[in-house]
A and B are shown apart, each in its own frame.
Chain A
């Protein structure tokens, strides 16, 4: 017997994202706030668990970047054990992280942003979506899926499954890489290289039509933070924390990541559950004390803080990327996150290709074993969206007493707000605060440049609809749009 059949929509939404644009007395955009209204205390939930469980638990914060949490957590576990993991284990973990960068950046570029980029911001809204992309460029849509699949399959080959693999553990990894699995990864590489070459060509061809967006989408001075190798090269797994300013001046050349609290503070605001991490040395006293410490993380920041990539093709693209800013200065336009993302995919593929040829990659010593030797551990790695910090405090039995996670999306929070404000000022001022489909799309695109992971940053479940509200100086809502 059939129970209930209905065509009513059933949602799994729990929270929503909201942008509030505040107008001044003259009707001009004065400020913009990107709110996220869902929150669960993930750090609190972890207290009382054993630190050995944390890679598996924290990886389940998010289905898109579980590897980031897995690696940061395993590295925190390494610190609690007080061990240096075997070199082959570190190489395998790095390969896992690069595979994740490929799959996550491919999702951002091909599935979320390419309809805007390849079809045009002002094209028919009914077609400026994945349907339009499929109609006009079906092969590109398929290649995008295949590139993401390369990343997911590599993760699956290394970790046993693509989401939440339990392969990475404190002390190293559970299993060595077999020759057969190494060859499977190797065989998939040529197609992935072809696709990233195509994506770079598409982006460069499309960019000529986006000079206005490049000038107004998050184009402002800020600080940038990311990991670099001890030599100053592009780094995603280990290394040292570097901070540079928009003029290219190095403020922190190479801070040991475990000392991150010396330079990073976290502010809170009553109107959003996202925290506002800031660079402490630039904070001052006053109600908005933290805003001068705004820094950006993620692909744009990583390319701004490094001196070189360290692989031939990525270095060639990095030289072209640097031409987007006056010599010696940082590339300050968030619109170029797209280009930075593609350069990082290229870099990741080159590094994977290099690693599978490493004569020691099949070594069987992949795990160091120890018990609790330190009561505080910090693990830092570069997630696709930026630097990820895990800090655990444990007792002698390894039971967690306190957990702090600083998520990449949170660190871009100030910059996302500033980007929305900039786009709104450019497109709304002069039309009485009237929202249009095109303006909404541009503000969404402005946020998407940072590829925020709202699951990670707020620990929410389900997708989030967007609610944009324009508020006049007298508090009256003069316009609003809600879009799923």
Chain B
């Protein structure tokens, strides 16, 4: 297992739909984090995507980063208002039951089991309040985004 030293190379994967208002917050936050780390000379690879897809597992392994950071928006309607949250991603065996959405946990299962990825994986979640069609973020999500500093992350 690689260490989580603050100079370790990071793969940042931001995902969401930028036409569903706050669902696009993960993309913006991922870009903000990647830009900040690059300014400090850290090796960062940035992927942005509408949603997670199985072939990303191969790309995670090929990127050669010690840490994978997923960045996504989450509906507060499901979990209530909350702050930006960071949680470790544990590889999980659940396949999508009906839809086509891959979770970070399933993608990491692919990356570890099929391609031997051994680094750490984290999920950073920003709350979303408005997932209607449209561009631009809701005010509370914008405020959270503006207040967040990548220096707050523990790696």
Residue contact A130 to B97, C-beta cutoff 8 Å: no
Q: Which B residues are CB-close (under 8 A) to A189?
A: none
Residue contact A463 to B50, C-beta cutoff 8 Å: no
Does A7 count as interface, using CB distance less than 8 angstroms?
yes
Residue contact A464 to B99, C-beta cutoff 8 Å: yes
Partner of A455, one of B58, B100, B113: B100
Does B143 count as interface, using CB distance less than 8 angstroms?
no
Q: Which B residues are CB-close (under 8 A) to A452?
A: 98
Partner of B125, one of A1, A10, A454, A459: A10
Tell me, rounded to whole Å, the shortest Cβ–Cβ distance linking A444 to chain B: 5
Residues 129-162 of A, flagged 1 when their CB comes within 8 A of B and 0 if not, give 1111010001001101110110010000000000
Residue contact B55 to A152, C-beta cutoff 8 Å: yes
Residue contact A60 to B19, C-beta cutoff 8 Å: yes
Residue contact B109 to A4, C-beta cutoff 8 Å: no
Does A475 count as interface, using CB distance less than 8 angstroms?
no
Tell me, rounded to whole Å, the shortest Cβ–Cβ distance linking A217 to chain B: 15
Q: Which A residues are CB-close (under 8 A) to B97?
A: 444, 464-466, 483-484
Partner of A466, one of B19, B98, B128: B98
B-side interface size class: 35 or more
A-side interface size class: 35 or more
Smallest CB-CB separation from B153: which chain A residue?
Answer: A2
Q: Which B residues are CB-close (under 8 A) to A465?
A: 97
Residue contact B95 to A40, C-beta cutoff 8 Å: no
Q: Which B residues are CB-close (under 8 A) to A455?
A: 99-100
Does B13 count as interface, using CB distance less than 8 angstroms?
no
Residues 225-260 of A, flagged 1 when their CB comes within 8 A of B and 0 if not, give 000000000000000000000000000000000000
Q: Which of B56-83 contact A (CB under 8 A)?
A: 57-58, 72-75, 77-79, 82-83
Q: Residues on B close to A: CB < 8 A?
A: 17-20, 23, 49-51, 53-55, 57-58, 72-75, 77-79, 82-88, 93-101, 103, 106, 109-110, 113-114, 123, 125, 128, 131-134, 148, 151-154
Task: Given contacts A8-B87, A40-B20, list 15 more A-B pairs with CB under 8 A.
Answer: A6-B87, A17-B98, A41-B133, A57-B19, A63-B50, A107-B54, A107-B100, A130-B93, A144-B54, A149-B55, A152-B53, A163-B49, A461-B17, A461-B131, A463-B96
